[in-house]
Structure 1
């Protein structure tokens, strides 16, 4: 700052003596930061403007203090000619209310960096328009200035003007509500995207039709809009506005409900559903939200194309009877449910349970119950394991809904095939396994392996007892040996199946192998005994085959088990196997195929599993080179 300028400002200091100390302190701090390019006249004019503001009323010194504090930052954002306009606006606001002027000055650094210089006077006028001379209006106007920098991150100046107009209109109803909506605006406008005019239009409409809902509308908007595809938010808000114009009530609640429904759909469906909803407005506005809310349920059963046909039937019903049409879109009418059922290709468990239970009883010749499960077993061993869990006792588990194919007949056939496969476990003896029963097709290895395992275990036990004799007293030793004998008795009480799986070191691998071999045996037996279901059976197996994991991406042992699964699907040609273990694969295939004859029993499965386990367990579970 030039010496002449310093002298000019120093000469003004006596004028500050009548103001509280903060005014002079901030003046001096700001003087040191003002641009050196300012002329003496410009600098003096600036200093005198602050003094003029401070002299206006008893509390004006606070506004002057803020004026000096922010001046360097504001001047950095604009030419001096616009800076003069900014000072004049602040001075005029201070004449009306020093508090309002203080808010204007405090918000200026943040706002001026985002406003064009030509908007300075308009921005000041917006805040001034909200001030009506009362303390509540003063609070609203001051907060408008305070929130302006953040609002300008999302709003253009024209949109800010419209928002201020909305706040002014709402303030005639409730200043408190207007102030709350001002704060909520910071949160909602970034979510609205390019559709702020539509949002403000709806908000303004609500001021006239239901101003008490305006705050709820802002809160609902902040929750509803993120749920909707960005490209469809304008349509969503226009639908809500149409509801208001057609006498709708509880618009915020309705917005939340329909946005929740839309969030449950794929975003690619939002445009289609909202398009149908727009057309429905011309028929009956109150049916529109019910249609959207029902869409997720309907689309669980129908394709998006079939949804349109259900919608058309609803419109026809609506034209004949308003109440009937509303019930249709709410899915509260038998007609609506029957249309969904007729259009749907899926099969629901509840609808076919009686028929399928009779079918299963006829196959098994025993009491069979069907149960649904929503938590399906996902072991990926066996060709139906990822569709339904294993049969347990006399209960067959099936999914709640099957919609794999494009027609009901195909989906019903799938139900029959999977149920037949599970009932086959009961009908053809999977649960009747007897460890000591001889195999029809193999030389029995179970007993000899068990004897070897028992002999080895006895040697280990004897060695352990010898070790204990050297460590414990005679009485302690008797107690320990007694405990060992009791545990041996417990081990003897095993089911035949547990006894069989005790032969294996890796029980999981053994179970996987046994499951696959037994599935193959049962499938072959079913197709032999019931040729009428063979074509459906082959179709389902073929579809299951196409959905299997890529065998090339599995470790060696898992790849060999997957190779067995594909064999069990009767896919004998083109079945991939690791080249490194091609000889092992041929041996496994030869063994597995031996049980695919009508006379094979579950004991044959056990013998085949022993032999296949011996082959696979010898293979290291390593990655297969490409």
Structure 2
């Protein structure tokens, strides 16, 4: 066919297409110019005829024909003419269903066909048809699929695309909006995933659509991020495991997936294969238990190592074979057996398990009731402490880390706790916070007052420690020196007084020495402080100092040795600090280049020497480098945080509170004084003071301090007046919030697992306000005869237990407490008393009674239905008088209310209380609901 004949052919088809749409005819003409160069004239005619047939297919099918002509120049080089006809035929089939589907099919073909083989084109079309259900919403979803096919099939194989379509199809049955959203976000969601993980990811999505379709959106958005934390080679295993879970616990499938992935992300990737192998073993019995196993891993691996995990796993696996519920609870850590197994395998010691033992231990050391709390409790108070991992004290309680896991032995870790507690108890027992500026030292002569006079005389200070630290221009340096000296004094006194702790103390000190930096790597002044720390830890072999300045350090070590004498007091530590500060001021804080001249020091120390001979050496060293900012020494872990300035401030506030209660009028602490303390103190570090106004931070700090030092006051019942806040609700003018209840935790029996759930029930203990005496008195009058009978019966009772008279020279049995005291005193070299017996005193009773009342809502029910004083049919049926009849009936009910269960409980308690008071027994009243 000639060129002119081809033009006539094109012109003829253009005229036939023009009635459908001028845009369609224009699109045909543009495409024909390209296609005529690629096809024979007969093929061009067939191609045009296919397009014309498309346009005639249905209403608006010309849009599909337009897309067909537009796509042909791009599709033809990919397919060839024979495949092109198959391609157009599939489009004509789609037109019979929906012209919009056919248009979307042709529109997407140029971008999609490069990712498909010729045999796969039909499968692709079938996927789009699968989403079409004959409705406009399904048509929109199918069109969206075709439009997104270039992006989808660039990331997915056709098999993966099938899984995606099944997933979207199931979602569409629940929500087309959700299905549309998930389909639109799939390319973005899958982009971070490696290609080999996408199949498993989509297969789990398909299962999730059936069982927990509401979580589909969250899965697509968060799933790839969660999977990225799992070792690449183990992601498919994890997804397959979660797919098994989805079959049993559909609604929880995504939760299990997310929490399992987060748990594995907290474990080193090299262990993921091993952990998933263990989980797969559990899954053979229960997929849900397998996911519980994964979810619990972070908590379990905190207590035991990966090497011991198989023991815990094997115990739970054996339990699963006998009880699915029991094994699941075991791996969920809701089983006492699980907790016991972990405890037996773990070398970790938790404070909650040993706090009571340590409390009694510290009470024995200090002679006072010292509470033991977690360091997190102190940090949460926001009164100056922010670190929860190191031990500390605020003067009344000792705060320790929540757990200790330094050694592979539980006994050794408990010994670490004892060392922590002993050092803090030493601060309380040996007077670290009892410093008085005016009290003289026992060893050193007084230089504090001389230094204060040189600085212009005494300045107003809140505490004696603050007054002492005001003597130093470099307050941080003075505070660090005092801490080193006082810690050294306390450690030496502990070693002298308590021989039993020496080995544990020495072991902890040796471990601490291994963590210390080398002095030669620090600037000189910081190296000076570091050597003092090493000396206080008996680490003389690790000490290094320039040979030309060895006399200066020997002077400092002599001062440190002086405060380690038994008679030294905290005032001696202060005097030693003044002298050490003068020595430290002579040392420039520069990095010395005299590496070859650093010398080891032995334990032998000389008395203080004259510093004149060191002047030339100090001058030479000062010229050899640039002064650097001073930084405090690395903390000594077992000594914790030592804040004497802040502790004395708290002690003063407590004294002020006590003085107010005894009608004394001390000078109150002003906000201005507190702000001055905040500005100059190096001890107070508030988490809220990182940013913001200092005045606001100081106000918050003062509020926290006042709350911390507030005395315990009994609650008062406030009368309620109209217009006021109800009782129990804080008013804006009230300064203090209601006191928090005391919480206790109890195990709960799980009959399904046949085991206890540890710490499952929380019991809140409140102290209720005292009621009025009217009910008590009315009950006694109403039941006077019963009161007398009850009292007579109680008077006839024989005493169940007599009071013990302890610490006697002779008696019925040994008094164990007295025997222990006797042995301790004799072992310590004192002359013990021989009063180690007790006997019964047959005069006084030693009996106490606890009433436990059921105060639940069920006790508000009537004991018996109230007998009516009027007939049930006394209403005459006149609707005009119904309201007045109902009011009169209601008034009779109010005048003679029915007796409830709680009323009977209260009356019984009143009668028993009266009887107990007659015979002198003590009692307490408790209720539960």
Query: 1:152/1:49 Cα in 2 relative to 1: closer, same or farther (>3 Å)?
Result: same
Residue 541 of structure 2 is aligned to residue 540 of structure 1: no
SS at match of 1:327: helix
The aligned residue for residue 216 of structure 1 is: 215
The answer to whether the 8 Å contact 1:254/1:289 transfers is yes
Q: 533-542 or 555-564: which moved more?
A: 555-564
Give the secondary-structure state (helix, strand or coil) at the position aligned to 1:606. Answer: helix
Q: Matches of 1:80 and 1:579 in 2, distance apart?
A: 95
Structure 1: tracts of 5 or more residues without a match: 378-384, 456-487
- Cα 1:184–1:212 change in 2 (3 A) is farther
When residues 605 and 6 of structure 1 are mapped into structure 2, their CA distance, relative to the original with a 3 A threshold, is farther
**Cα distance, 1:506 vs structure 2:** 1.5
Of stretches 14-23 and 42-51 in structure 1, the one that deviates more from structure 2 is 42-51
- Mapped partners of 1:46, 1:59: distance in 2: 20
1:396 is paired with a residue of what secondary structure? strand
2:226, 2:258 within 8 Å by CA — same for their partners in 1? no
Output the CA distance in 2 between the equivalents of 1:97 and 1:508.
82
Structure 1 residues 600 and 8, CA, compared in 2 at 3 Å: closer, same or farther? Answer: farther
Instruction: Give the C-alpha shift of residue 410 in structure 1.
Output: 0.6
Aligned residues: 581
Could you give the per-residue CA deviations for residues 105-149 of structure 1, whole angstroms, max 9, x where no partner exists?
222233234334553343233323444545454334322212222
Residue 478 of structure 2 corresponds to which residue in structure 1? 510
Q: Which moved more, 1:172-181 or 1:288-297?
A: 172-181
Question: Following TM superposition, by how much is the alpha carbon of 1:103 offset from its aligned partner in structure 2, in angstroms?
Answer: 0.9
Task: Quickly say closer, same or farther: Cα 1:366–1:376, change in 2 above 3 A.
Answer: closer
Please state how far the C-alpha of 1:532 moved relative to its aligned partner: 2.0
Q: Deviations over 1:259-302 (max 9, x none)?
A: 44444444444433322221112233443233333332222222
Q: Which position in structure 2 is the counterpart of 1:397?
A: 399
Partner of 2:21 in structure 1?
20
Q: Distance in 2 between matches of 1:551 and 1:512?
A: 16
1:504 shift after superposition:
0.7
Q: What is the CA distance between 1:89 and its match in structure 2?
A: 3.1
Equivalent position of 2:600 in the other structure: none
Q: How far does residue 530 in structure 1 lie from its aligned partner after superposition?
A: 2.0
Residue of structure 2 equivalent to 1:99:
100
Instruction: Select which of 339, 353, 365 maps to 1:363.
Output: 365
Aligned to 2:430: 428
Deviations 1:161-218 (A, max 9, x none): 44445656777888777656544644554466424444454555567xxx36345356
Aligned twin of 2:495: 527
Query: Relative to structure 1, is the Cα distance of residues 367 and 161 closer, same or farther in structure 2, using a 3 angstrom cutoff?
Result: closer
Counterpart for residue 54 of structure 2 = 53
Q: Is the 8 A contact 1:82 1:117 kept in 2?
A: yes
Describe the shift of the 1:165–1:286 C-alpha distance in structure 2 as closer, same or farther (beyond 3 A): closer
> Once the 2 structures are TM-superposed, how far is the Cα of residue 445 of structure 1 from its aligned partner?
2.1
Match of residue 495 from structure 1? 463
Q: Give CA deviations for 1:14-51 in whole Å, capped at 9, x if unaligned.
A: 23321222223434555567696666566565555433
- Tell me whether 194-203 or 506-515 shows the greater mean CA deviation: 194-203
- Alignment of 1:451 with 2:453, yes or no, is yes
Partner Cα distance (1:546, 1:333) in 2:
40
Q: How do residues 460-475 of structure 1 correspond to structure 2 at under 5 angstroms?
A: none
The aligned runs of 1:289-368 (5 Å cut-off) are 289-368=291-370
Greater helix share, 1 or 2? 1
Q: Which residue of 2 aligns with 1:592?
A: 560
* Aligned-pair CA distance for 1:501: 0.5
Matches within 5 A, 1:569-588: 569-577=537-545, 585-588=553-556
Scaled by the length of structure 1, the TM-score of the pair is: 0.81
Cα contact 2:182–2:216 (8 A) shared by 1:
no
Please give the residue correspondences for 1:117-136 in structure 2 after superposition, counting only pairs within 5 Å. 118-131=119-132, 133-136=134-137
Rounded Cα–Cα distance in structure 2 between residues aligned with 1:13 and 1:616: 101
For 1:63 and 1:445, locate their aligned partners in 2 and report how far apart those are by CA, in whole Å: 101
SS at match of 2:372: strand
Q: Residues of 1 paired with 2:178 and 2:161: CA distance?
A: 18
Q: Does 1:226 align with 2:213?
A: no
1:469-519 per-residue CA deviation (whole Å, 9 max, x = no partner) reads xxxxxxxxxxxxxxxxxxx9xx43542211111111111121112111211
Q: Deviations over 1:320-356 (max 9, x none)?
A: 4444333323333322222222222111112211211
- CA pair 92-218 structure 1, distance change in 2 beyond 3 A: same
Question: If each structure's strand is expressed as a fraction of its own residues, which one has the higher value?
Answer: 2
1:192 touches 1:233 (CA, 8 Å); kept in 2?
A: no
Secondary structure at the residue paired with 2:399? strand
SS of the equivalent of 2:541 reads coil
The answer on 1:69 being equivalent to 2:65 is no
**Contact 1:23–1:64, Cα closer than 8 Å, also in 2:** yes
Secondary structure (helix, strand or coil) at the match of 1:397 reads strand
Contact 2:211 2:247 in 1 (8 A): no
**Partner of residue 283, structure 2:** 281
Distance 1:540 1:16, change over 3 A: same
Q: Distance in 1 between matches of 2:483 and 2:388?
A: 13
Q: Distance in 2 between matches of 1:237 and 1:309?
A: 26
In the alignment, the residues of structure 1 paired with residue 497 and residue 240 of structure 2 have an alpha-carbon distance, to the nearest angstrom, of: 63
- Provide the residue aligned with 1:474 in structure 2: none
2-structure distance, mates of 1:186, 1:582: 71
